[in-house]
Chain A
């Protein structure tokens, strides 16, 4: 509801002398200690209280969507994967899913299970990254270090199975490009069990520490209705009590493996932290199940021929929430349009709403519990 508030709008465009009487405008970002990526807000304050915020993006727009017109549709997955460094595998995979449904190309079972495995691996490393950054923003340096040290264990598993630490590079149109052996997967599960123990302890510290709780509880409350109406997705929506998780669509192997939607009802920063902590725990369980049930067989089918004229959507659940991919083909090797609606893009209006009424010192905490990814947002 940013901008709907007439008072906020007027204040933003008021002549300078009116600032004395009206609310104070504080610029927040794009360079700020808590922000890993450039996002700017004009915060309108009355004393310490935030009346509203005007968001501004556009610092790192790279026009990657337009590049699809210049690249072969099968090669573009490498560009799609580089939209963002944290959700990289799912960007590549989402593009592949959309193109595969356009081609009517069913992928082998083993590839579906491996995709599920890597999706969950990415969720764990993204949530651990978030946990570290959030702890750092709260001034909890040792938790930050501990979370990122644990994340290294997960990244090693990623490199061993997929070949890259953050850019996995293993999703291709028609399946996956790497086929880790059963021994490798068993070894990885052992390494992940170690990480799981560590994460359990860290989550307990994060969620029970009295200082952390003081900073997070009751801060940045977003009601279920407001979150839903503003189109929030992912942990943001689930922390407010709405159970929506795009994994229920049953893409990849989620239909067979099954999972449980994590929901909290408080809607404050603490609830969002709890949702993420519980999701990490669940991701480990899903990976165990995937490796136990993974079928043998080929991991890719060749994507032959041109994509037919048409369009296709694909919806996935990224660590930050639901993401929507859209591809349209005009019958040539170069697609006509590729578009990603990333979770942070949908979460910005809700983030502004959550800030309203909080105090200035809480703004960094609120921004971080949304876990913004601006590279995704601007593409």
Chain B
């Protein structure tokens, strides 16, 4: 049963994301979710697709500051996920159809969930880790 819940996770390159997604869409899969896990040197995105009870995830590892194409041209419903991931993790997702320009979570301290920015700031100036809200507001 665990197997069924987890589905299969397929690691792919950034360049293969759009062709693979397009192939799944043509085969009748629906977009279940886009998941992002932050890490010290970037982020890892998993695009999960479902067909009946089956689930399959495409996993892309994105180094910090690397642009990632948006899948909204294939799955228009993905705009909410992508906007959220860009605001919380600072992943540079480009050409989102329905771009909110960083206003999903419009807070003074952007990229709240990103592990990259916190690490970068604390290594530059350890004293500013708590008072550095203004310098962290990169997503605004």
Contacts and interface: CB of A to CB of B under 8 A. Distances in A.
Q: State yes or no: do A and B touch (Cβ within 8 Å).
A: yes
Interface of A: 1-4, 9, 54-58, 61, 63, 65-66, 97, 101, 228-232, 244, 248-251, 311-315, 322, 324, 326, 328, 336-337, 339, 341, 345-346, 348-350
Contact of B104 (A58, A248, A249): A58
B55 A313 contact: yes
Contacts of B36: 339
A57 B104 contact: yes
A5 B58 CA distance: 28
A313 B112 CA distance: 23
B76 A249 contact: no
A349 B77 contact: yes
Contact of A328 (B4, B37, B75): B37
Contacts of B77: 229-232, 346, 349-350
A9 B98 CA distance: 8
Contact of A229 (B76, B105, B106): B76
B48 A61 contact: no
A58 B4 CA distance: 33
A4 B80 CA distance: 13
Contacts of B79: 2-3, 349
A88 B98 CA distance: 31
Given A58-B105, A58-B106, A324-B32, A101 B2 contact: yes
B2 A312 contact: yes
Contacts of A250: 1
Given A4-B97, A55-B80, A63-B113, 17 more contacts: A2-B98, A3-B96, A3-B98, A9-B98, A57-B104, A58-B103, A66-B113, A228-B30, A229-B77, A231-B31, A231-B77, A232-B77, A315-B55, A324-B32, A328-B37, A341-B32, A349-B80
A230 B4 CA distance: 23
B99 A3 contact: yes
